[in-house]
Amino acid sequence: MNENTGTLTINLAAIVANWRTVAAYADSSVTSAVVKADAYGMGVEQVAPALYRAGCRHFFFATLSEAVAGRSLVGADAQCYLLGCVPGGSEADVVRHRLVPVLSSLVAVNRWLAWRAGAGFDASSAPAAVKFDTGMTRSGLAVAELQHLLGDAERWAELSPVLLMSHLAVADEASNPQNRRQRDAFFALGTLAKRLQPDLLLSLANSCGTYLGRDYHADLVRPGAALYGFNPVVGGESPMLPVVRLSLPVMSLRALTQPSQVGYGAEYTALPGQVLAVVAGGYADGLHRILGREGYGYCLGVKVPVVGRISMDSTVFDVTAVTDLHEIDGRQTLNIDVLGEGDLSVDALTRRNQALGYEVLTCVRSGRYRRIYQGE
């Protein structure tokens, strides 16, 4: 029991298989990959090249530094989009790294065009994408602003974006009528823009949006979550494979002989006869997000609950129900799994913890975990 950090096992083959599953479903569109936030915590250095080898040629990043780093991970023929803003003064870097900025406001469009003209670039030497807002009110040109831009033939020709996109706000609520409203608003202007510029790619759907049906696919779909094992089929069975497993090593076992308070705040009292396991891993490793309230894990296949509060670096589980404990000697590492398949899947944790599954996954980035990648 001497490993002092948890082990995060990431199945690259499953990520690739999930991408292929989406691509097969959206077979009349291009399937991109959203790899922002270090590929949702799974490690962009491994994930992006694996998806590139599988045939993915469109990658979405959030920040400039993510996109610059990501650019070198994939082949020169891949399109790398920067979803976040172009920081003032970094336009030349964006072009030098052959990134495609997603211009998400009229100010951003005007700034980009002014810079581009001044620096001697044009739509083909410094391509851009445009995002407009169809009902999320987070980022993107307003519908009226895009309409205005489309009405100015000269300005639109100067801009000539490679991609026109929008983002669904409630794709995870399949029956919410806002999805159809956003889709109709998207295609109303998208179709108009495509008439002006036939090579323009249109893109609306994230993971759940893709599984709302073919009429959401447009030219390019943008799955993120589904690639990392989330179920994109609202209310249906998941076509995705689980991607991640997190095992925490037991640092010490204690068989109690008298009543004992466990952890900060002494919120839990353990009784004689109970066996407690202290594992390496606490809220500094994102465990409060992963375990949530009334969390549990599995030890040698037996469900074991968390007792007491999660500490910064350690968490205590009640392993009384594990009958094989005596077979573990000091040289073996005993682990407790807290993320994996079945009721430890990101979907199950999302349901149980009412935390966004995205948070559950991205919080593993902060953890001090040893990472193991399973091959393609």
Ligand X SMILES: *Cc1c(COP(=O)(O)O)cnc(C)c1O
- Site residues (vs ligand X, CB under 6 A): 34, 36, 83, 167, 206-207, 222-226
Query: In this structure, are residues 51 and 19 in contact, taking their beta carbons and an 8 Å threshold?
Result: yes
C-alpha 222/C-alpha 365 separation (Å) is 22
Q: Smallest Cα–Cα separation from 95: which of 64, 61, 73? A: 64
Q: Please classify residue 309 by burial: count the beta carbons closer than 10 Å to its beta carbon, then call 0-12 exposed, 13-18 middle and 19+ buried.
A: middle
To the query of whether residue 264 is one of the catalytic residues in this protein, the response is yes
The residue (of 226 and 278) whose beta carbon lies closer to ligand X is 226
- In the complex, the smallest distance separating the C-beta of residue 35 from ligand X, rounded to whole angstroms, is 10
Residue nearest ligand X by beta-carbon distance: 224
Q: Smallest Cα–Cα separation from 13: which of 50, 58, 60? A: 50
- In the complex, the smallest distance separating the C-beta of residue 239 from ligand X, rounded to whole angstroms, is 14
- In the complex, the smallest distance separating the C-beta of residue 81 from ligand X, rounded to whole angstroms, is 9
C-alpha 159/C-alpha 166 separation (Å) is 17
Q: Smallest Cα–Cα separation from 263: which of 316, 338, 201, 199? A: 316
Helix (H, G, I), strand (E, B) or coil at 141: strand
**Catalytically annotated residue among 25, 52, 216, 264:** 264
Q: What stretches of 66-193 adopt beta strand conformation (E)?
A: 79-82, 99-103, 129-131, 163-165
To the query of whether residue 211 is one of the catalytic residues in this protein, the response is no
- In the complex, the smallest distance separating the C-beta of residue 203 from ligand X, rounded to whole angstroms, is 8
The residue (of 3 and 347) whose beta carbon lies closer to ligand X is 347
Task: Find tokens 């589980």 and name the residue.
Answer: 317
Residues 6+ apart with CB under 8 A from 195: none
- In the complex, the smallest distance separating the C-beta of residue 194 from ligand X, rounded to whole angstroms, is 19
The residue (of 41 and 297) whose beta carbon lies closer to ligand X is 41
The residue (of 6 and 232) whose beta carbon lies closer to ligand X is 232
Helix (H, G, I), strand (E, B) or coil at 65: helix
- In the complex, the smallest distance separating the C-beta of residue 299 from ligand X, rounded to whole angstroms, is 31
The residue (of 37 and 159) whose beta carbon lies closer to ligand X is 37
> Does the CA dihedral 107-108-112-115 come out positive or negative?
positive
What tokens were used for 166? 């929008």
Q: How far is CA 142 from the centre of its chain?
A: 26
**Catalytically annotated residue among 36, 283, 296, 373:** 36
The residue (of 102 and 278) whose beta carbon lies closer to ligand X is 102
128: left (phi over 0), alpha (psi -120 to 50) or beta: beta
The residue (of 79 and 207) whose beta carbon lies closer to ligand X is 207
In the chain, the N- to C-terminal Cα span, in Å, equals 31
- In the complex, the smallest distance separating the C-beta of residue 359 from ligand X, rounded to whole angstroms, is 12
- Going from the C-alpha of 50 to that of each of 18, 110, 334, the distances in angstroms are 12, 36, 32
Active-site residues, by number, are 36, 264
